[in-house]
């Protein structure tokens, strides 16, 4: 496929991908804030004051996050919203990577693979750091 | 809780709005706003800012990509450099003393102010360097008459080197480093200014995303702060981009420079006085 056709696919689908995930993340975040305000305003204020003093909750495993959602903890919904937001760049680069594989444009397969690997390394660095 | 939410949303909407109309991005303004007005620790402000920068980049990129202003290939090549810098920067942000972060932030504000004053016009190349031509980095941009003009790109390795620095600053300070990215593309690689701005905006999502993932995985993102800030900055940036078309931004340039210099002075003073 010609470079022009690759670029056309990217110009059509990239904005759709970006907008869809961004809207999804915003819906989750607003829902989480409304639920927090309704059901756990005291916990929010407590956490806000703690954060101001520099006390963060620290690492939270994905399993623990799911447990919090099952318990109906609205704060966990906010965390999910932030994770969905970070999917925006990951999904966009993964989409480009798959397109370039399909089109056998190996130089750009290498560039996008490197960026994807960098994003994954970021998660690993954060997990051990 | 409502008072806290309103104050955080107001700060974030303001930062997103000024970031959009100045072209410098919300991160440049939300970090100092959270540190100076909400009295948040620097690391908390950086984590919240990185997340919100991902959101504003995605929101602002949609129209630029659709309308063909973003050079997607230049972005994908240079993102290799910015991601490398961002992961290193975000890791260092967890170990570097706050005083160093504040001084670096002040320095970046001065660089942004310098860039805002010295933005230059397009210097379009018809012949790029062999690396850029092999990678098909050239593109088309409309001139003053609306005619499409082909441009080529040059000095990719040098531009990439500055992009590593831009990524490093983004991960360290929670900003998009848009001013550095545009300088690398416009000044060094001869990408037309508007294409540089649109491409920088697009790249910022991945750069900030890499830093945000390090912060999230480390447990350094305060959900309580980051969630309303992300919503507010995104809303402010959307409002700013709508107003932008009706504003004479050139006449506001001096206002942006004064704000940047005030932030630089405040952050520098905080670092020196150990607040």
Q: What is the ipTM of this complex?
A: 0.87
Instruction: Round to whole Å and give the CA distance between B114 and A60.
Output: 41
CB B15 within 8 A of CB B26: yes
The first and second tokens of residue B17, run together, are: 């709005």
Structural domain count, chain B: 1
User: Best residue in B52, B58, B88 to probe A by mutation, most A CBs within 10 Å?
Assistant: B58
Instruction: Round to whole Å and give the CA distance between B102 and B262.
Output: 13
What is the domain range of residue B61?
2-273
Which chain A residues contact residue B74 at CB under 8 A?
none
Q: Which pLDDT value is given to residue B7?
A: 94
Lowest mean pLDDT: which of A79-88, A91-100, B45-54, B239-248?
Answer: B239-248
Name the closest residue on chain B to residue A92, using Cα atoms: B206
Sign of the dihedral through C-alpha B58, B64, B68, B69: negative
Say whether A32 and B227 touch across the interface (CB within 8 A): yes
Instruction: Round to whole Å and give the CA distance between A50 and A73.
Output: 18
Q: Which pLDDT value is given to residue B10?
A: 94
What is the domain range of residue A33?
3-128
Q: Which pLDDT value is given to residue A58?
A: 62
pLDDT for A34 beyond 60:
yes
Q: Which pLDDT value is given to residue B62?
A: 85
Ranges in chain B, pLDDT < 50: none
Contact A84/B at CB under 8 A: no
Instruction: Round to whole Å and give the CA distance between B201 and B184.
Output: 13
Structural domain count, chain A: 1
Q: Which pLDDT value is given to residue B227?
A: 93
Q: Which pLDDT value is given to residue A51?
A: 87
Q: Which pLDDT value is given to residue B67?
A: 84
DSSP reduced 3-state for B153? coil
What residues have CB less than 8 Å from A24, skipping those under 6 apart? A84
Per-position b or e across B63-82, b if 16+ CB within 10 A of its CB: ebbbebbbbbbbbbbbbbbb
Tell me the β-bridge partners of B142: B148
CB A91 within 8 A of CB A17: yes
Say whether A21 and B79 touch across the interface (CB within 8 A): no
Q: Which pLDDT value is given to residue A16?
A: 93
Tell me phi and psi for residue A6, to 5 degrees.
Answer: -60, -45
DSSP B247: S
Instruction: Round to whole Å and give the CA distance between A67 and A127.
Output: 20
């Amino acid at each position: 496929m010609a470079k022009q056709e690759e670029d056309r696919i990217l110009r059509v689908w990239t904005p759709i991908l970006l907008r869809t995930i961004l809207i999804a993340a915003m819906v989750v975040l607003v829902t989480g804030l409304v639920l927090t305000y309704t059901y756990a305003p005291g916990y929010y204020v407590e956490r806000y004051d703690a954060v101001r003093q520099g006390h963060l909750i620290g690492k939270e495993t994905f399993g623990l996050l799911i447990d919090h959602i099952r318990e109906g903890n609205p704060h966990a919904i906010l965390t999910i919203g932030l994770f969905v937001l970070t999917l925006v760049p990951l999904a966009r680069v993964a989409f480009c990577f798959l397109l370039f594989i399909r089109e056998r444009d190996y130089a750009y397969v290498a560039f996008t693979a490197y960026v994807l690997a960098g994003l994954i390394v970021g998660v690993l660095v954060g997990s051990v750091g | 809780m409502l008072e806290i939410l309103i104050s955080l949303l107001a700060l974030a909407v303001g930062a997103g709005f000024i970031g959009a109309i100045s072209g410098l991005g919300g991160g440049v303004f939300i970090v100092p706003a959270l540190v100076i007005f909400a009295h948040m620790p620097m690391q908390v402000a950086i984590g919240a800012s990185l997340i919100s920068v991902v959101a504003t980049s995605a929101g602002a990129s949609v129209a630029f990509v659709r309308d063909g202003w973003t050079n997607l290939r230049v972005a994908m090549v240079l993102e290799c450099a910015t991601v490398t810098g961002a992961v290193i920067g975000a890791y260092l942000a967890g170990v570097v003393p706050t005083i160093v972060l504040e001084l670096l932030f002040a320095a970046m504000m001065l660089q942004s102010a310098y860039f805002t004053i010295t933005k230059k016009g397009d210097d379009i190349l018809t012949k790029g360097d062999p690396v850029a031509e092999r990678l098909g980095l050239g593109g088309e941009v409309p001139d003053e008459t609306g005619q499409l003009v082909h441009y080529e790109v040059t000095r990719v390795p040098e531009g990439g080197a500055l992009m590593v620095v831009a990524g490093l600053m983004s991960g360290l300070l929670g900003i998009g480093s848009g001013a550095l990215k545009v300088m690398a593309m416009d000044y060094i690689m001869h990408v037309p200014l508007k294409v540089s701005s649109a491409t920088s905006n697009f790249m910022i999502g991945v750069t900030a995303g890499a830093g945000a993932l390090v912060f999230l995985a480390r447990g350094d993102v305060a959900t309580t702060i980051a969630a309303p800030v992300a919503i507010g900055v995104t809303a402010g940036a959307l409002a700013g981009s709508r107003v932008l078309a009706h504003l004479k931004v050139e006449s506001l340039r001096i206002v942006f420079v004064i704000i940047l210099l005030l932030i630089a002075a405040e952050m520098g003073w905080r670092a020196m006085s150990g607040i």
